[in-house]
């Protein structure tokens, strides 16, 4: 099943509660929350207090994407704040498997993310234990960047690897997803589609979601 995860990074931060309602009313399955620390990536964005406040006004599935160094220091606070899915970058964790265990122990689903320059080999020993793999289709740090088409091959390989292993694991893509690129990533095997600027930048959010869903 295709799930749409609009990224709050492109929302109006002065009206976050309304911005969450806008996308969930329009049929989005997830709310994608980009957490950046200014070190793993250049930007600084949302912390757990914001997630905690949003949890009070929404029952939606909160898909938290940690783009932070030392993700192990952040799991409990985001879980307590109301995250449903916590994804961290394999490039940022020394003990990735332990972080996955930590996320599950905190009661959340666990995702592992790969930058465009990171090979699938990095997660070979982890795919059996995660609920989702996030393939970045831009270099993380900013919204509104151009889709990196070379990642389609990686997504396709991941899809077949998971199938061969008989694993029921979601494949999420993030970065440069719009009505055109969504078709390509869906064909490659992705089923959770993050989109920031293509959804929040549209005058008709429901239409944008529908087009991305395909
Ligand atoms: C990028 C973030 C994305 C970003 C996507 O580092 O992880 O979630 O918001 O934005 P668009 O869809 O505009 O590329
Ligand atoms: Zn993201």
pTM over 0.95: yes
Positions annotated as catalytic residues are: 34, 174
- The pLDDT mean for the chain works out to 98
User: What tens digit of pLDDT does each residue of 21-43 get?
Assistant: 999 999 999 999 999 999 999 99
User: What tens digit of pLDDT does each residue of 125-178 get?
Assistant: 999 999 999 999 999 999 999 999 999 999 999 999 999 999 999 999 999 999
**What value, to the nearest 5°, has the Cα angle with vertex 112 and ends 116 and 187?**
60
Please tell me the predicted confidence (pLDDT) of residue 133: 99
Tell me how far apart the alpha carbons of residues 153 and 10 are, in angstroms, rounded to a whole number.
27
Please tell me the predicted confidence (pLDDT) of residue 178: 98
Residue nearest to atom 10 of ligand 1 (CA): 143
Atom of ligand 1 nearest to the CA of 41: 6
């Amino acid at each position: 099943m295709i799930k749409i995860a609009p990224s709050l990074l492109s929302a109006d931060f002065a009206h976050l509660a309304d911005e969450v309602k806008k996308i969930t009313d329009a049929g989005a399955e997830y709310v994608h929350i980009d957490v950046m620390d200014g070190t793993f990536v250049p930007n600084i964005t949302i912390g757990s207090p914001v997630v905690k406040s949003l949890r009070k006004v929404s029952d939606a599935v909160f898909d938290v994407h940690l783009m932070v160094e030392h993700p192990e220091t952040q799991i409990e606070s985001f879980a307590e704040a109301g995250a449903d899915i916590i994804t961290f970058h394999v490039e940022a964790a020394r003990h990735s498997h332990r972080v996955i265990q930590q996320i599950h122990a905190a009661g959340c689903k666990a995702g592992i993310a790969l930058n465009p320059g990171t090979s699938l080999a990095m997660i070979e020993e982890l795919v059996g234990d995660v609920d989702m793999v996030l393939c970045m289709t831009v270099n993380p740090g900013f919204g509104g960047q151009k889709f990196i088409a070379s990642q389609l091959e990686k997504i396709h390989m991941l899809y077949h690897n998971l199938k061969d292993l008989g694993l029921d694991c979601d494949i999420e893509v993030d970065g440069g997803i719009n009505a055109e690129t969504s078709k390509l990533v869906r064909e490659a095997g992705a089923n959770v589609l993050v989109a920031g600027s293509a959804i929040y930048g549209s005058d008709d959010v429901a239409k944008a979601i529908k087009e991305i869903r395909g």
